[in-house]
Homo-oligomer: A and B are copies of this chain.
Amino acid sequence: MDELRAFLRRRAPGAGELTTARSEADEPEVLSGLYNGATCGAPLAIVIKNADARPADYEATRDVPRPSHADYPARVKFNNRHDASGGGHFSGRLTTPLCAAGGICLQLLREINIFVGAHILRVGSASDDPFDPVRVSEKDFCAVKINPLPVLNREAGEAMRVLIAKAKEDGDSVGGVIECAAVGLPAGLGDPMFDGIENRVAQIVFGIPGVKGIEFGSGFAGAAARGSINNDAFYFDGGEVRTRTNNCGGILGGMTDGMPVIFRAAFKPTPSIAAGQESVDLSNSTNTSLHIKGRHDPCIVLRAAPCVEAAAAIALYDAYLCR
């Protein structure tokens, strides 16, 4: 539990002036499944209460959906019976239970020498150094964690910080990209068709609010390349089969090939911005404008690295169990 709490703190706000002013203790309360500090076979039920909710902040948006938020489709889906305050169960806070589940999977994966790590690759126009797709290792994951922002290159982190502060000053927000890698996976994990590693990882990663794209290995860039450049040649490294490059992101035919699994997730800019926006008033079917109050992150990507790690860990551990 100590390790899980430490992991949840990585997601929690409070890393200074750039995240939400909300105070979220994120203290996991275990209802069942834990006995003498270990899982005991009963279903593991964990409750993480939101102690600092302020429903009043959401009064203005009851009938005026926030642009690029779930408000409008949720209202349609649930015939206006849903609890709109705080985004209901479409809130970014839902990444807390995701991180709780993923944090446990990370512990289970580590027992079989599989490690997962993520860093901020891009915020707006500022870019971190990418993981080396062939040589990325647990060391890189540790290096990321000791930096103030989860990046490999501290200067890149500083540039991101400046960029986010500027956006905040402008009452605006900014998006970004998280890069995630998993190392130590044996070859042959993953299942055909709809249960391949890409399918499984994508299904979980798109569960993180704000993710609008995912690519594995050389991804969209690889789609512009020729086969002779993009193919990853096999060779024997001692008794082990490896590839010289890793444009496939460690996945062939939906299965791991023994090289690091690498992918990138694109996060849209936080839709909640202080600047005024055009919207509609659904109570009287008129066009209107909206000024959002509330305490929002100018850049959710700052807190997204552990969420992506968690999502990857859930998908990969599940694929491991299904082997």
Contacts and interface: CB of A to CB of B under 8 A. Distances in A.
Contacts of A254: 70, 90, 206-207
A94 interface: yes
A214 interface: yes
B266 A215 contact: yes
Interface residues of A, number: 118
A196 interface: yes
A139 interface: no
Central interface residue in A72, A186, A267, by most chain B CB within 10 Å? A72
Contact of A252 (B69, B124, B222): B69
Interface stretch (A13-21, A110-118, A172-180): A172-180
A283 interface: no
Interface stretch (A1-9, A81-89, A150-158): A81-89
A220 to B, nearest CB: 4
B227 A271 contact: yes
How many identical chains are in the complex? 4
A65 B255 CA distance: 14
Interface of A: 31-32, 35-36, 38-43, 47, 65, 67-74, 76-78, 81-83, 87-90, 94, 98, 122, 124-125, 167, 170, 172-177, 186-190, 192-194, 196, 198-200, 202-204, 206-207, 209, 211-220, 222-236, 239, 241, 243-244, 247-249, 252-258, 266-273, 275, 277-280, 282, 285-287, 323
Closest 4 A-B residue pairs measured CB to CB? A70-B253, A213-B215, A77-B188, A73-B255
